[in-house]
A and B are shown apart, each in its own frame.
Chain A
Amino acid sequence: MKSRNYAAIAAADRIFLLVVYAAAVLFVLLVAMLFVELVHGSWPSIQAFKLKFLWTSEWNPVTGQFGALPLIYGTIVSSLIAIVLAGVVGILAAAYLAEFAPLWIARPLGFIIELLAAVPSVVFGLWGLFVLAPFVRNALGPFLQKTLGFLPIFQGTISGVGMLTAGLILALMVLPTVTAISREVIVAIGSDLREASMSLGATKWETVARVVLPASRVGIFGAIVLALGRALGETIATTMVIGNRPEIATSLFAPSYTLASVIANEFSEANGAVYISALIELGLLLFIVSFIVNAMARLLLWAVLRERH
């Protein structure tokens, strides 16, 4: 047998370890550098407006007054609408796929839902502009106003684009995330829980509703938080259907604006140090919020999924 050069193998192993460590550390360094660059870029704006940037409402490039409150509001509300709608539909769809669907339906259906995640954002935006916006203006909007018009959120002019349309588009975009992860989490629940429930006389539906779903609620919550992270940062699809008006309005039909949309719209033509740094500060805000939301989601999911039997 040919003798092996153990010294050379050990050295090669060490080098390999170094390389993979470096790759991981490099990534962390890049993210840290991104954060540092964002702070550096937004420094003129931070100096000019300090904390009141977060609660002033005026976004006026002509006078140089910038306040992010309507943008923060628009981002949060449109994302909330998205995860409420996607959450309800997604959890039910995941429960169906995991528990009730026969295999010959579950596989292709699951595949198609996940394919929705492959549709480019700008395609969603175009569809939203040319199909969903007219639908909201001509059908959904008037219907909601007729039946629920006593609520202030459904009053006001319906122009097709606005908070509601943006929320609907975002819901469609994050639906695959919610469904896929919720399905994984539900499947990860041990069969002993289900069997115990059924052996006590519960029906399939009772088992799912009262045992399986509550047991998987931490993981499902993680899926929804991940979806929230995606919805917060969505740019192109939102900017095409949200109406682009930096104003806080009570009606869901009114146009609004998000952090990502402002940056996408105004960055290329922005001139003046304060204007550009105000836009970069919006990017910094978005970065921090998305980072925190995603980190929370990942930790939750990691805690749940590693306990799979």
Chain B
Amino acid sequence: MRKTFTFAFVALFVTIVPALAATQLTGAGSTWDYPYFSKAFYEYSKSHGDVQVNYQSIGSGGGIAQFTQRTVDFGATDVPMNAGEIKAAEASGGPVLQAPVVLGGVSVIYNVPGIASGLHLTPGVLANIFLGKIANWNDPQIVKLNAGTKLPNTPIVVVHRSDGSGTTYIFTDYLSSVSADWKSKVGTGKSVTWPAPSAIGGKGSEGLAGQVSNNPGAIGYVELAYAIQNKIPQATLQNAAGKYISDAPGGVRAAAASKPELTPTNFSIVNAKCATCYPIAGYSWVVVYQNPQDKSKAKTLQEILTWLTGGDAQKIAGSLDYVPLPENVQQIAHNTLAKMHV
């Protein structure tokens, strides 16, 4: 009996050790990137059998914290690390590199009885709704923008994300840039204090979308990919050039292209100025040390992150309703990653 047990133990040990010999990379951070990362890394492991990436979607804050403590090889965050966070990370592991990895948009969703997708909203009206200044769907300001539609006399219920979220950051960044009132009263952040008296919070995109669908008269915001996949009625927004954008993914691509000088300190692409630009778009970022502590994995890490921000992998992102990084942004990412000392 004891002999069988020992034999089984040794056999198990011998089979596990070679499997452990495969390169294991770990990452943690943004939940927004998670659908893309999980599919991309799976595809990569299929073609590069000896590399496995384990990504934990614990939130951008958690990702930065783990990255600073060097418990993971790379972090992923919706908002690039600020000066304070970079200083802490540099003290821990040396210079930090940040590269854009995912591009997406934020869609305004609503649930108004009798109104299908495509309600027209201007930046000013949108800001006033979320400030609580417009409290009813048949308010003259909304009616004026939608001449042919009969808007009901339903109170507006503002729904927001109750958890800290990169989507909230991009949305509030947009509202701050189109409304001085919003900027002074509320500001930009992953979690903010919502001024509208009707505001309720939902946890996660599912929670927010759930609250919107359960409350007639609700308005909220989710990732563009989420709204498309779940076929939720979306508003057609007016951009800075005065045009109503109905092709949101194309508009996100145009907004990204309008800022070729993208850097981790100058990364906001909301309220972009071109004619076809979608007004609410943003990047998500991957962070890595310039001198990775584990030299044996450094080359693999650089290769996989370069692949992740390259054309082939970005096609996978496109299939998941993200918007693939434009060529020039892919180049920016590759130039950044090339600085790694491998």
Evaluate whether A244 and B202 lie within 8 angstroms (CB atoms) in the complex, with A159-B157, A239-B162 already known. yes
**B85 smallest CB distance to A (angstroms):** 7
CB <8 Å contact, B192 and A61: yes
Task: Confirm or deny: A168 has a beta carbon within 8 angstroms of a beta carbon on chain B.
Answer: no
**B94 smallest CB distance to A (angstroms):** 21
**A97 smallest CB distance to B (angstroms):** 36
CB <8 Å contact, B200 and A268: no
CB <8 Å contact, A266 and B210: no
Task: Confirm or deny: B233 has a beta carbon within 8 angstroms of a beta carbon on chain A.
Answer: no
Q: Which residues of B contact A269 (CB under 8 A)?
A: 59-62, 163-166, 190-191
Q: Which of A100-108, A129-137, A295-303 makes up part of the contact surface?
A: A129-137
CB <8 Å contact, B191 and A244: no
Beta-carbon contacts under 8 Å, A115-134 to B: 129-130, 133-134
Task: Confirm or deny: B203 has a beta carbon within 8 angstroms of a beta carbon on chain A.
Answer: yes
Evaluate whether A266 and B215 lie within 8 angstroms (CB atoms) in the complex, with A239-B203, A244-B201, A245-B201 already known. no
What are the interface flags for B183-195 relative to A under an 8 Å C-beta threshold, 1 for contact and 0 otherwise? 0001111111110
Task: Confirm or deny: A60 has a beta carbon within 8 angstroms of a beta carbon on chain B.
Answer: yes
Task: Confirm or deny: B214 has a beta carbon within 8 angstroms of a beta carbon on chain A.
Answer: yes
In the assembled complex, the Cα of A51 lies from the Cα of B211 at a distance in Å of 36
Q: Which residues of B contact A222 (CB under 8 A)?
A: none
Beta-carbon contacts under 8 Å, B310-324 to A: none
Which of the residues B60, B187, B200, B207 comes within 8 Å of A62, measured between beta carbons?
B187
CB <8 Å contact, B211 and A245: no
Beta-carbon contacts under 8 Å, B149-166 to A: 155, 157, 162-166
The bracket for how many chain B residues form the interface is: 35 or more
Interface centre among A61, A157, A271, A276 (most CB of B within 10 A): A271
In the assembled complex, the Cα of A265 lies from the Cα of B59 at a distance in Å of 11
Q: Is the interface of B mostly helix, strand, loop or mixed?
A: loop
Evaluate whether A244 and B61 lie within 8 angstroms (CB atoms) in the complex, with A61-B191, A62-B192 already known. no
Task: Confirm or deny: B277 has a beta carbon within 8 angstroms of a beta carbon on chain A.
Answer: no
In the assembled complex, the Cα of A244 lies from the Cα of B117 at a distance in Å of 27
Evaluate whether A160 and B215 lie within 8 angstroms (CB atoms) in the complex, with A62-B189, A271-B61 already known. yes
Task: Confirm or deny: B199 has a beta carbon within 8 angstroms of a beta carbon on chain A.
Answer: yes
Task: Confirm or deny: A63 has a beta carbon within 8 angstroms of a beta carbon on chain B.
Answer: yes
In the assembled complex, the Cα of A215 lies from the Cα of B67 at a distance in Å of 59
CB <8 Å contact, B61 and A268: yes
Task: Confirm or deny: B58 has a beta carbon within 8 angstroms of a beta carbon on chain A.
Answer: yes
Q: Which residues of B contact A240 (CB under 8 A)?
A: 203, 207
Number of interface residues of A (CB under 8 A): 34
Task: Confirm or deny: B198 has a beta carbon within 8 angstroms of a beta carbon on chain A.
Answer: yes
In the assembled complex, the Cα of A35 lies from the Cα of B265 at a distance in Å of 39
Task: Confirm or deny: A59 has a beta carbon within 8 angstroms of a beta carbon on chain B.
Answer: yes
Closest to B218 in A: A159
**A276 smallest CB distance to B (angstroms):** 8
CB <8 Å contact, B157 and A265: no
CB <8 Å contact, B61 and A245: no
Task: Confirm or deny: B64 has a beta carbon within 8 angstroms of a beta carbon on chain A.
Answer: yes
Interface centre among B62, B85, B190, B191 (most CB of A within 10 A): B191
Evaluate whether A61 and B189 lie within 8 angstroms (CB atoms) in the complex, with A133-B214, A265-B163, A268-B58 already known. yes
Q: Which residues of B contact A162 (CB under 8 A)?
A: 200
Beta-carbon contacts under 8 Å, A214-233 to B: none
Evaluate whether A130 and B210 lie within 8 angstroms (CB atoms) in the complex, with A243-B201, A270-B164 already known. yes
CB <8 Å contact, A245 and B214: no
Q: Which residues of B contact A272 (CB under 8 A)?
A: 84
Q: Can you report 15 residue pairs joining A to B where beta carbons are below 8 Å apart?
A: A61-B164, A61-B190, A62-B186, A62-B192, A159-B157, A245-B199, A246-B193, A255-B199, A265-B191, A265-B201, A266-B191, A268-B163, A269-B60, A269-B62, A269-B191
Shortest 9 CB-CB distances between A and B: which pairs? Answer: A269-B164, A268-B59, A244-B201, A244-B162, A62-B187, A243-B200, A265-B163, A61-B191, A62-B189
- Other CB < 8 Å A-B pairs besides A159-B215, A268-B59, 11 of them? A59-B193, A62-B191, A129-B214, A137-B215, A161-B200, A239-B203, A265-B163, A268-B163, A269-B166, A270-B61, A276-B61
